[in-house]
Each structure stands twice: as structure tokens, then as C-alpha cells.
Amino acid sequence: MEQPAITFIINGKTYNLRATDAAAIAAIHPAERQQLITLLEAVRQQEERARAVVQGSVDQARMASSGATGIGDTTRAAGSGDYAIVSDRLGSGDVDALMARLAMEESRGRKPGPTRQGLYRWVLGVAVAIILLVIIL
């Protein structure tokens, strides 16, 4: 599958590149290429920080749901008795990923609901108990 083209502007020059287009990448002036690399490195670090925040929040929620008393990566908010997570702001995609992971963790801990086989056993047991009570009385 072909990579989508990315258009960006560096120092007033517009570039339209694909990851597979080596000739166009080589045509970028070295100073501008260095600025682009620096920008992309900052984007990568931000993505890693966002994932770390999400993972930390999941770990903290897992500890809280298991009844742990540790506070973890929290600090007391100024002027209040509440604890608040100290981290960078979560983006909308990060919040969605966090909610999905928390929902998955919660559903793993739940006891499964009754199955048909279990329901049939209960009905059969109740029916046998009623028949025995009618016969005895």
C-alpha cells in the first residue's frame, strides 16, 4: 500500500513527501532537514509521554480497583484534601484509549453471567425439590 503524502512548510518552502520517496527527501536542504528531524523527534517524545501517562493511569486505576492503599504518582492538590494526577494533559485519543483499557480491565475481573446450562440446572433442581415436597407432604 502506498504511503500518504505529507505536506509541510519549512522557512517558507513547501514540501510534499512520502516516506518511500528517497529522492524528494534527499532534495531537502540539510539545515531544513535537521529542523524537520528535530520536530519529528519532539512528536515522537510527545507520543511516548502520552502512552506513559495512559499506562500510569491504567496502573493507578488497577491498584485502586484491587484495594491497594498506595498513592502512586499522585500529589495533593494545593488547598484541598483531594489527590490529583500530576501529568501532561491527555489528548482525546489518549482518553479514549485509557477508557477502553479500563473497561477491558473491569470486564476481566467480573464473574461471568449465568449460562443456559446453569439455568437448566437451577430449574431442574427447583422442580425436583417441589416434586419431593409434594410427595413427602
Query: What are the residue ranges spanned by the domains of the chain?
Result: 6-136
Is residue 67 over pLDDT 50?
A: yes
Is residue 50 very low, low, confident or very high in pLDDT (cuts 50, 70, 90)? confident
pTM tops 0.75, yes or no: no
The span from the first CA to the last CA of the chain, in angstroms, equals 78
Q: Which three cell numbers stand for residue 90?
A: 491527555
- State the pLDDT at residue 129: 95
- Predicted local confidence at residue 10, as pLDDT: 85
Do residues 87 and 56 lie in contact, with contact meaning Cβ atoms separated by under 8 Å? yes
Cα(66)–Cα(83) distance, rounded to whole angstroms?
18
**CB-based contacts of 36, cutoff 8 Å, min separation 6:** 8, 10, 28
Give the per-residue pLDDT at 91: 61
User: Who has greater pLDDT, 125 or 65?
Assistant: 125
Reduced DSSP (H G I as helix, E B as strand, rest coil) percent helix, strand, coil of the chain, to 5: 60, 10, 30
C-beta of residue 18 within 8 angstroms of C-beta of residue 30? no
Grid coordinates representing 122 are 437451577
Burial 40-77 (b: 16+ CB within 10 A, else e): eeeeeeeeeebeebbebbbebbeeeeeeeeeeeeeeee
Contact 62, 109 (CB under 8 A): no
pLDDT in tens, 94-136: 777 888 888 888 878 777 788 899 999 999 999 999 999 999 9
Q: Which pLDDT belongs to residue 135?
A: 93
Write the pLDDT tens digit of every residue in 12-46: 888 888 888 888 888 888 988 898 889 889 988 98
pLDDT at 79: 45
Residue 73: pLDDT band with limits 50, 70, 90:
very low
pLDDT, residue 90, reads 59
84 or 97: which leads in pLDDT: 97
96 φ/ψ angles, rounded to the nearest 5 degrees: -65, -45
